[in-house]
Amino acid sequence: MPIAYVRNSLRQRVRLLGLLAVCSGLGVCVLAAPLAHAQVTPAPVAAASDLDRQYDEAFQEMLKQPANLDVLFKFATVASQTGDLEGAISALERMLLVNADLPRVRLELGVLYFRLKSYEVARTYLEGALKSPNVPAEVRARAEQFLAQIASQQKRSRFAGEVFQGFRYQSNANLGPATSTVRLFGQAANLNQQAVGSPDWGSVTTLTLRHFYDFGTQDKATLESNFTGYINRQFTQSQANVSLIDLTTGPRFQVFDGTFEDMTVKPVVALGAIWVNDTAYYASYGGGLEMNTLLSDRLRNVSTAIWRKQDHPDTSYLPTNSLFTGTEYTFNTIFPFQLTPMVGLFASGSAQRYQTEQAPWQSYGLWGFGGGMSFRFPDPVLKTGLPWTISLTGSMQWWHYDAPDAVVDPTEYRTQQDLILNLTVTIPFDERTTLTLTGGRFVRQASISNYAFENNNVMFGISWRF
């Protein structure tokens, strides 16, 4: 197998890994964050159109009978399921005006305010539920659980995290070409069969840790640190094993008071390392800036600009790996938009420049755009009261390399075009545990056939938040 092909096949895998590693639940790309969902007693399962109809009917009935507790609670239940948390809160608070001794209603109000991150108001309602002389045991237990979570959230220093364990099938696990015919020194050559695209199963394990430290200043400054660990182990294609660690840390603070108080800036320091086939591929360090801005009640923008120096060591497995040493400059922007309480949309754009120190044929520019949607709907099976989510994402990327690679073809400049599609279903079992099912397709077209491939994948796994 030509050495140049080995090097660039690894480069393809590392780039694809970058797409996987920034995904939530790690295997599921992040969409616009869904609105929080409260644990009000669920109504009978209904399709989205039925739920909208139930909401309208419950609202009209509430207007006719504003002091009827059953009517108010029914509206609060449906409003919560559609994501109208403010409407649910209004109905439940009206119930307390009619009858103040309703510990279950105080509990649900505490949960709703907790979801909205209004922790002090949530604490007031939860403590009120516990003070009732007629509080049921299950209400007491749940109120104490949320009070403990509020105490944790209000600590100046706090940790959060998520672990994901899953299994993935790929139709082209090593990202090889469809046939053994490639170009070498501008002529046709044949790869050995091991380098041709091959299917395989593998395990995927990810760990995400987040730490927040509140400085207690008026600009709401916090120190935010994020650690990601990723391990992919193929059952037969061991050369496709990839592992990574990545750490970013930096202070987040408000830029302006008053009108622009929903704009925050976060300068970051970034460190990372990647291993391929259990061999060091590169270590990186760098820094950059993230800006997070609330543009409207339903639209937000998050933009990041980061540079990283990549140090590629030569190893017995990759004796010319140092040719890849260079600097990467990346810009990403995403616009999440909450279209309705049940439907979220997003659009994204990206640009990247990689400049090697020794090998201009490995320097490239990349730009791309993407988008997607997520749809939440009531749990149709488990009756947990937590919504299921279906997400569809797609993106396109274009690569342009600075110079021909003489080993592959001294006359041909390399260009590539990627199409990446993913469909994901998330099924929560409880507040912390989620089943994820995802299917995807990755198609790369290239001016040089060595680099073109297709890969279909299916993955399933369980994530646990803590």
Which domains does the chain carry?
3-32+157-465 (2.40.160.40), 48-153 (1.25.40.10)
Give Cβ neighbours of residue 259 (< 8 Å, ≥ 6 apart).
Answer: none
Residue 130 in tokens:
């516990």
Provide mean pLDDT across the span 328-355: 96
pLDDT for 421-443, tens place per residue? Answer: 999 999 999 989 999 999 999 99
pLDDT score of 453: 95
Classify 387 as helix, strand or coil.
coil
In degrees rounded to 5, what are phi and psi of residue 121? -65, -40
Residue 297 has pLDDT above 90, yes or no: no
Q: Over range 69-91, report the average pLDDT.
A: 86
Contacts for 197 with CB less than 8 Å, ≥ 6 apart: 171, 172, 174, 175, 176, 177, 178, 453, 454, 455
CA distance 368 to 389: 26
Predicted confidence (pLDDT) per residue in 395-426, tens digit: 999 999 999 999 999 999 999 999 999 999 99
CA gap 77, 42 in Å, rounded: 6
The DSSP 8-state label assigned to residue 340 in this structure reads E
Asked whether residue 44 carries a pLDDT value surpassing 90, the answer given is no
In this prediction, residue 30 carries a pLDDT of 35
| Whether the predicted pLDDT of 258 surpasses 80 | no
Give me the percent of the chain exceeding a pLDDT of 70. 88
d(CA 93, CA 81): 17
Which residue would you say has higher pLDDT here, 106 or 11?
A: 106
CA–CA separation, 300 and 336 (whole Å): 6
CA angle 75, 80, 81 (to 5 degrees): 100
pLDDT digit string, tens, across residues 351-390: 999 999 999 999 999 999 999 999 999 888 998 878 899 9
pLDDT band of residue 29 (cuts 50, 70, 90) is very low
Task: Name the nearest CA neighbour of 418 among 358, 350, 353, 466.
Answer: 350
Residue 35: pLDDT over 70: no
Q: Which residues of 13-28 are buried (b: 16+ CB within 10 A; e: fewer)?
A: bbbbbebbbebbbbbb
DSSP annotation string for 111-149: HHHHHTT-HHHHHHHHHHHHH-TT--HHHHHHHHHHHHH
Asked whether residue 185 carries a pLDDT value surpassing 70, the answer given is yes
> Are residues 164 and 205 in contact, defined by beta-carbon separation less than 8 angstroms?
yes
Are 322 and 282 in contact, with CB atoms under 8 Å apart?
no
Any residues with CB less than 8 A from the CB of 303 and at least 6 apart, and which? 290, 291, 331, 332, 333, 334
Residue 125 binned pLDDT confidence (cut-offs 50, 70, 90): very high
Nearest one of 162, 184, 154 to 466, comparing CA atoms:
162
The helix (H) or strand (E) run that includes residue 171 is none
pTM of the model: 0.75
Q: Tell me how many degrees the CA angle 177-457-7 measures, rounded to the nearest 5.
A: 35
Confidence of residue 11 (pLDDT cuts 50, 70, 90): low
Residue 230 to residue 31: CA distance in whole angstroms: 20
| Main-chain dihedrals φ then ψ at residue 297, nearest 5 degrees | -60, -25
SS (H, E, C) 264-313: EEEEEEEEEEEEECCEEEEEEEEEEEEEEEECCCCEEEEEEEEEEEEECC
pLDDT tens per residue across span 260-274: 668 999 999 999 999
Residue 126 has pLDDT above 70, yes or no: yes
CB 374 within 8 A of CB 343: yes
Q: Which of 307, 399, 308, 315 is nearest to 361 (CA)?
A: 399
Structure tokens at 434: 């989620």
- Quote the DSSP letter at residue 45: P
Residues in Cβ contact with 420 at an 8 Å cutoff, skipping those fewer than 6 apart? 19, 370, 393, 394, 395, 396, 397, 440, 441, 442, 443
| Helices and strands per DSSP (H, E), number in the chain | 7, 16
The continuous run of DSSP H or E covering 93 comes out as: helix 85-98
Lowest mean pLDDT among 157-161, 204-208, 215-219: 215-219
- Strand 433-446 versus strand 415-428 pairing type: antiparallel
